Chain A
Amino acid sequence: MTHALLPHARPARQGRSARTRSDKLGRVGEPGERAAEGTAPPLGDLLVATATGDRAAFGLLYDETAPRVFGLVRRLLVDAAQAEEVTQEVYLEIWQTAARFDRAKGDAVAWMLTLAHRRAVDRVRAAQASRDRDLRAGVRDLAVPVDEVAETVEVRIEHERVTTALASLSDVQREALALAYYDGCTQSEIADRLHVPLGTVKTRLRDGMIRLREVLGVTT
């Protein structure tokens, strides 16, 4: 959920990270919860301030979130130079479109990661035929990040929800989701990669996502 999940992360933001998780779960607008936070401005507030052209707020927002955005982008792109370029594009887009953020619909990190993921996937697709793509093919792609989650999960209780959600998926569902989300594969590419019929991939992705949504408590 947050960089506080890193074993070596600074602990100061834990209050805020709890809030953003609760936003994700749809329990928004609970003033008591927010009031109980630490002194750092919530990311949602920073994003709202960013929309007004507040560079200091944007700078704080960047400091607080860049490792997560960069981590995700690099996971998809592998190539560090490309990941840096895309990360910068992501933040330029955040700067530009912060006014679109609606905290009633989700938390700030989810909003930014969704944006980052979309841009990274776009770049993956653009580079589809390139060397980078070939380099990424292989066993590494099949490694589901559950182990990495497990290393850090004890840090944050709310982060267990993601781990629990992932753990509640079947192995094949998790594999399909990982290839899609972390490697930017399309359904057909996943089918090719796994040597299973396209319909099977579609079913795994759909069932896995439905399960993930249920366990994470995301409501429509």
Chain B
Amino acid sequence: MTGADGTAGRVPDDLRELAPAYALGALDEADRERFEHALRGSPELRAEVDAFRAAASGLGEAVPPVAPPARLKADLFARLDDVEQERAEPDASAEAGGTTQVPAREEPAPEAETPAPETAAPAAAHDELAARRGRGRTGRRGLALILASAAAVALIAAGAIVGLNWSGPNGWGAQREMAALAEASDAQQTTATVSGGGEVTLVSSADQGRSAIIAEGLPDVGDDQTYELWYIDDAGIVSAGTFDVRGDETWRLLEGEFAPGVAVGITVEPAGGSPQPTSDPVALLET
């Protein structure tokens, strides 16, 4: 959640050059993941994307309008009660957007300041959408609840550094991805207990090719050590990033691509992580 400015200058050119295609939604999966990973740490990249999106919307405006069927509006309004609105900032008029959020100037103030509804509400709403479509209902309410609690914790952590909280591994960008993960019609979750205490839930989507863990009650392993995540399959073991439970960070999107059938392991490693696990896993989640 820190270092947004520090990382901004480290965006490699080859990633920066993906911004136009990202704004068009045209990146292939691997590139998109790489780009979004960089996006989370770079306000500059975010600004680039915003500018290209604005340009792209010109393409949208060039499409001839088509009147939708009248019943669409009636159906829509019949469903509004099912959707919880994100709250607007009580004092912030729209014109004031971003004025107090200097480090996060590329993000609208409401996004930076209300991370909890950001993540929780979409999860709940999409859950509702899914239910109404009569698919994927099982387990999704539970998932929304888990995400809501994860977001609430993120809010507490974010409160300390309002304005930076959109970047970093638990920042706004990640929360958005987390919400997208919950939105996935094929979202799966599995839970495992952790030796040493606590439990870990893995949320995954084969469609989106990503996964995240939500940790509850895990012990802090101290400054010298960190939890490290691993994707494990027949081809071997690949690091999927590290996380700590300090600062109430309880969830983490895994780095790299999720593929169904892969197992996710968690080990305790020296601070900074290891290229390969150096200890036995404290938890193993099969998918």
Contact = CB atoms under 8 A, between A and B. Distances in A.
Contacts of B86: 51, 96-100
Nearest to A104: B97
B68 A70 contact: yes
B51 A213 contact: yes
B27 interface: yes
B85 A102 contact: no
Contacts of B171: none
Interface string A179-220: 011101111101000000000001001101110110010111
A58 to B, nearest CB: 8
Nearest to B117: A99
A99 B28 contact: no
Contacts of A212: 55-56, 58-59
Main secondary structure of the interface of B (DSSP, over half): helix
Contact of A145 (B50, B63, B88, B93): B63
Interface string B1-43: 0000000000000000100110111111101000000000000
A68 B55 contact: no
Contacts of B185: 126
A29 B68 contact: no
A67 interface: yes
A97 B122 contact: yes
Nearest to B25: A121
Q: Among the interface residues B52, B53, B64, B97, which one has the most CB atoms of the partner chain A within 10 A?
A: B64
B95 A104 contact: yes
Interface centre among B29, B88, B95, B129 (most CB of A within 10 A): B88
Contacts of B76: 62, 88, 91-92
B279 to A, nearest CB: 39
B60 interface: yes
Contacts of A59: 73, 77
Contacts of A180: 21, 24-26
A10 B171 CA distance: 44
Contact of A99 (B29, B64, B88, B98): B88
A67 B66 contact: yes
B66 A216 contact: no
Interface in B230-266: none
Interface residues of A, number: 88
A205 B20 contact: yes
Given A24-B57, A126-B207, A6 B64 contact: yes
A220 B48 contact: yes
A88 B72 contact: yes
A18 interface: no
A66 interface: yes
A208 B58 CA distance: 13
Interface in A151-204: 151-152, 159, 161-163, 165-166, 177-178, 180-182, 184-188, 190, 202
B109 A102 contact: yes
Count chain A CB atoms within 10 A of each CB in B17, B57, B67 and give the residue with the most: B57
A6 B64 CA distance: 7
A165 B58 contact: yes
Contact of B95 (A75, A84, A103): A103
Contacts of B77: 55, 59
Contacts of B65: 3, 5-6, 9, 67-68, 70-71
Interface of B: 17, 20-21, 23-29, 31, 47-48, 50-69, 72-73, 75-77, 79-80, 83-89, 93-95, 97-98, 108-111, 114, 118, 121-122, 125, 129, 185, 207
The 10 closest A-B CB pairs, nearest first, are: A102-B108, A209-B20, A67-B65, A113-B60, A102-B97, A110-B57, A180-B26, A99-B88, A70-B68, A213-B55
Given A44-B94, A63-B73, A96-B86, 7 more contacts: A5-B65, A68-B61, A92-B83, A93-B122, A95-B83, A98-B86, A186-B28
